[in-house]
Chains A and B, each alone.
Chain A
Amino acid sequence: MIELRDVELRYDDTVALRDVDLELPAGEFAIVRGPSGSGKSTLLLTIGGMLRPTRGSVRFQGHDLYAIDERARGRLRGTDIGFVFQMFHLVPYLDLVQNVLLAGGDGATRSPERIDRARATLERVGLQDRMHHTPAELSAGERQRVAVGRALFHEPKLVLADEPTGNLDPDNADAVLDLLSEFHQGGGTVILVTHARAGDDRATAHYALECGRLAAAART
């Protein structure tokens, strides 16, 4: 499903990713672990078609992501990829339903059916009583659950999670990881980057990233 070949990414004189090769079949729950500054977020954004590598290729479902134009990459994210960020990145002026409905990009419709599904998604992440609240009215754990709901709403094939439990207490962290596991068990692919031990027991593949170099750590 995902194939990175000889990927290098430089920022001026800094090499964020070097000689990265990765082949990840569909249905994996991969954890990429590494210390802060090791290039974890960069790797995730590169896989998600958000950050063009300086060298090498990134293939997703057979598409060479950086050979297709930006609009096509955007459409692909809108249909097949979901993002979860450490800082949640919810839109502050929209309520939870509207935040979830943003998933899907330009092509997303706001049909009654989608609105029903957005409500169902929020119920699934345990926020059925907060649907018309804005993010500012939620706790960090609740915000991250909304962000996970948004990432899962359009039924992507891949979820890229960047330190999704980094700002959460253990209970909320578990709740978020449960949601990602549930998605994985439903056939979805997850790549989770973290510097902590979170999610180890749920992952099917482990990688280590250090100074931009990726190494396979273990498979379960």
Chain B
Amino acid sequence: MDHAEQTRVSILSLILHEAWHRKAGSLLLLLAIVTAVALPVAFYTAGQASVRETSRLMRDLGYNLRIIPKDTDMTVFWDQGYSDKTMDGAGVQRFASRDDLSYNHLIAMLQRRVDWDGGPVILTGLATEVSPKGKKKSSMIFTVQPGDMCVGHAVAKRLGLREGESVEFGGQTFRIDKCLAESGSDEDLRAWIDLPTAQQLLDAPGRVNEIKALECHCKAPEVDTLAKLRTELESVLPDAQVLRLRDIATVRREQRNMAERYFAVVLPIVLLGAGLWIALLTVLNVRERREECGVLRALGHSKGRLVSLFLGKNALLGVAGGVVGFGLGTLVAITCGPLVFETPRGQAITHWALLPLSMILAPLFAMAAAFVPTALAATTDPADTLRGPG
């Protein structure tokens, strides 16, 4: 007796023989299942890559903060672009001395709108930028030496200022160190001088009205949220409040949220389509096998066995589709995810936990989609297909 004969003609064997016999139908069924699995796997994998990338950016970029006096009228602040109140300028040093907060750039400034030869200028006193101890950072903004002045494009144009010439302002003489190029922001209306001179001119000795903390972090990752950061800063700068600038990570997170919302719409449609596809293929399979169902019933096989044949096929292809769909989805996420979520290549990693999940859910999905046509196959009167012309 050879091996083929010894093979038990079990349900599994019948399913495998039938699936192989009707290869095209089986492949289409497999394709439907693969599609239904690959899309969620791809999106999840790419989405997780985006989450990690956002976290990395948040971690790397930190918070870009504007620290302003606590009693600032925010309406005025947003209207004129700076606080009309002041706070102790020594807060910068207290901030810089904290061990539990890190930053890359720390700049104190005093700014106020003044009149200069009949036109408005935002006079901005800049302190020397503070960098972390032991870290030499390139400055985020230019520094202004005492006696020097940098002017924005609109100011230089209105007053006809040129670099290197001397000007009189507030009873003092300044050398125009830089005439900045047009920026398209309120910088065009600014005139920068050193902070002590600005404090003197504006009659606010030792005072500032803004500290910019760029790329700022709490060192403990678990407190790396804005609320926690605000609490931490409260102790350093009790007379200040903190505003967070929108950063690229926020934009990216919003982009991911948008993709997730889009996915929430697309996924049910794809699953519904795949489900209908599977149901339709099962209907065709049932129609094609009506005679077989009839003869099996005539030979004494039960309805349960018929149901097992159809649902078993979907379950088996579901397992295979789950594995293939997982692989394909992961591959798509790794290759195409960076385009969709604008994440760097290499961020998407294989989520192995999805493999057993796919292998369980895909057969269940395939069986659920095939349930109605299978039930119809089992309840169809076998005599209809077996009755001859007589």
Contacts and interface: CB of A to CB of B under 8 A. Distances in A.
A39 interface: yes
A98 interface: yes
A155 B298 CA distance: 15
A101 interface: yes
A101 B299 contact: no
A48 B22 CA distance: 31
A166 interface: yes
Contacts of B13: 98
A83 B299 contact: yes
A115 B386 contact: no
Contacts of A119: 1, 5
Given A92-B21, A93-B20, A105 B300 contact: yes
A173 interface: no
A124 interface: no
A97 B5 CA distance: 7
Given A78-B299, A97-B5, A104-B300, A37 B386 contact: no
B11 to A, nearest CB: 10
Chain B interface extent, by class: 35 or more
A34 B390 CA distance: 8
Contact of A50 (B1, B298, B305): B298
Interface stretch (A23-31, A55-63, A69-77, A183-191): A69-77
A97 to B, nearest CB: 6
A15 to B, nearest CB: 15
Interface string A134-168: 00000000000000001000000000001100100
A103 B9 CA distance: 11
Given A89-B291, A93-B17, A101-B9, A40 B390 contact: yes
Interface centre among B296, B300, B304, B383 (most CB of A within 10 A): B300
Nearest to B2: A132
Contact of A115 (B6, B300, B381): B6
A79 B18 CA distance: 25
Contacts of B20: 93
Nearest to A107: B300
Given A93-B18, A110-B9, A42 B300 contact: no
A97 B305 CA distance: 20
Interface in A185-203: 193-195
Interface string B348-390: 0000000000000000000000000000000001110011111
A51 interface: yes
B301 interface: yes
Interface string A91-111: 111110110011111110010
Contacts of A38: 390
Given A50-B382, A51-B383, A98 B9 contact: yes
Nearest to A80: B300
Given A106-B300, A106-B302, A115-B5, A163 B386 contact: no
B8 interface: yes
B14 interface: yes
Interface in B235-249: none
A102 B296 contact: yes
Given A45-B387, A74-B300, A102-B301, 5 more contacts: A39-B390, A70-B303, A74-B301, A104-B299, A194-B390
Interface of B: 1, 4-6, 8-10, 13-14, 17-18, 20-22, 291-292, 294-305, 381-383, 386-390
Interface of A: 34-42, 45, 48, 50-51, 70-71, 74-79, 81, 83, 85-87, 89-95, 97-98, 101-107, 110, 112, 115-116, 118-119, 131-132, 150, 162-163, 166, 193-195
13 contacts: A41-B388, A76-B300, A78-B301, A83-B299, A91-B295, A92-B21, A93-B22, A94-B9, A94-B14, A98-B17, A106-B300, A112-B1, A115-B1
A-B pairs with lowest CB-CB distance, top 7:
A105-B300, A78-B300, A93-B21, A40-B390, A110-B8, A89-B295, A77-B300
